[in-house]
Amino acid sequence: MQTVLVFILVLGVLVFFHELGHFLFAKRAGILVREFAIGFGPKLFAKRYGETLYSIRILPLGGYVRMAGEDPEMVEIKTGTLVYITKNSKGLVDHIYINEPANTRQPLIVGRVIQMDMEKECNLVLEDEQGHETKYSLDPKAIIHYDQKNEVQIAPLDRQFASKTVGQKAMTIFAGPLFNIILTLILFTVLAFQVGVEDQLVVDHFVKDAPAAKAGMKEGDVITHINGEKVSAEKLRYLIQESKGEPIQVTVQRNGQTLNLEVKPKKEEDVYLIGAVFDQSKYVKEPNLFEAVADSFKRTYDWTTIILDGFVKLVTGDLSIKSLAGPVQMGDMTGKIAKKGVDPLIQWTALLSLNLAIFNLLPIPALDGSRLVFIGIEAIRGRPVHPNKEHLVHLVGFALLMMLMLVVTYNDIMKIFFT
C-alpha cells in the first residue's frame, strides 16, 4: 500500500506540473479552459472556480486540460428547444436553462430557440407564446444549464484554441513538457544542495583485478572523457554499460598530462565495470546557488542524451520492447527507491519528469509532439489541417498507445511477479 501511495503522489506531481504548463499558457493566450483534470475516468472530486472545473479522477495515470476549440465544439441547443433565460445588469443573456430552474432570483424570459450563434455574433433569437421573435445578445461568458448537474460556458471564437496564432498554440502545447523540464531542474537543484555537486572524478583506488588498473590507470588520475565525450559520474556509468564489454577509450588527467587509455570493461552479474572507485572527498563539494543551478542543467543535459539514446535504440531495434517499463514496474521501482531515502526519491522523480517531457515531445499521434507537428504544418501552408483529419490521426495514435501500454503492463507483471 505504501508503494502505491508513494507512486500516486509522485505521478500526481508530474502530471500536475505538466498540465499546469498547458493551463497557464492557455490562460495567457485568452483560451477558455473548460477543465483541469488530474487522472482519468469518474470524478473523485470536482470544484468549479471561475471558468474552469478542477477535478481529480479515479485513474491516476495522467491528466488533461480541456480547452475550448481544441477539438470541435459540441456545445449546442437545437432549434425549437424551449429555454429559460436570464439577463445581467448590462442586459446581456448570462444564463440559459433547458429546464425551468427551481431557484433563481432573476426574472425568467421563456421562448423557443429560432436561431443561436455562440461563436461569432453571440446572439440568440427566441419566439414567445404569441409568436413574436426577439433577438438577445449573449454575454461572452454565458452559461448553458442542461440540468442541475451539467452546465457549460459558451466559447466565442476568440476564446477558442483554434482561433489563436500559430505561436500561441505552439507555446500552449509545448508548455506541458516545458514545465516538466522546469520541475526536473528544480529537483536536481534541490538534490545538489542535498548531496553536493561533482567536482572531479578522482580515482581513489581499484577493486581486485580492475580492468582500469590493468590498462594503466593509477590512483589520483582524473577521468574526464569516454570515447572523446566529456562525462559526469552518471554518464560514465551509462557509457560503461553501453560498451557491452567492448574496449572504451578513457581520457585521464595525470600530473598535468592528458593520457588516453584503452579499457575493456568486465561483466559482474548483470553490470559492466572498470573497477575504479572515486575519492568521495574530491568527487563532490558543497555548492553555492549558482553551482547548484549549473549542476541541475548539467544533469538534465546528461540524462536527456541518455534518454534520447534509449529511444533511438528502440526505433533501430537495438533495444527490445521488453526493456520498456510501464506503470506497474515504475510503481514498483518508485516504492523500492522511496525506501532508500529522500535523496534517491528526488532524483528518481526528476528523471521521471524528464522522461515524461521527452516522451511527450516525440512526434507520436495523440502526444504533444504530434500536435506541434500539425501546428508546424499550419505555419508552413498558411492554414490548419482539417480538424476532423487531425482528430482521426490522434484517435488512431491514442488507440496504438493504449495497445502498447497493455503490452508493457503485461511485461511488467511477468518481470515482477513471475521472474
CA dihedral sign of residues 31, 37, 43, 45: negative
Complete domains list, the chain, with CATH: 2-71+162-182+330-418 (no CATH), 82-154 (no CATH), 198-285 (2.30.42.10)
- Give phi and psi for 320, each to the nearest 5: -80, 155
The residues, ordered by sequence, that sit 6+ positions from 306 with a Cβ below 8 Å of its Cβ are 234, 235, 238
How far apart CA 38 and CA 64 sit, in angstroms, is 7
> Pick from 157, 133, 153: which is nearest to 143 by CA?
153
What are the grid coordinates assigned to 67, written together?
480547452
* DSSP at 275: -
What average pLDDT is seen over the chain? 90
Question: Residue 262: is its pLDDT beyond 70?
Answer: yes
Dihedral of CA atoms 242, 245, 247, 251 in degrees, nearest 10, equals 50
How far apart CA 124 and CA 137 sit, in angstroms, is 6
Burial (CB count <10 Å: 0-12, 13-18, 19+), residue 42 = exposed
- Give pLDDT tens digits for 138-193: 999 999 998 877 888 999 999 999 899 999 999 999 999 999 999 999 999 999 99
How far apart CA 383 and CA 108 sit, in angstroms, is 43
| Catalytic sites, residue numbers | 19
- Give pLDDT tens digits for 396-412: 888 888 888 888 888 77
**CB-side exposure of 15: number of CA atoms within 13 Å?**
21
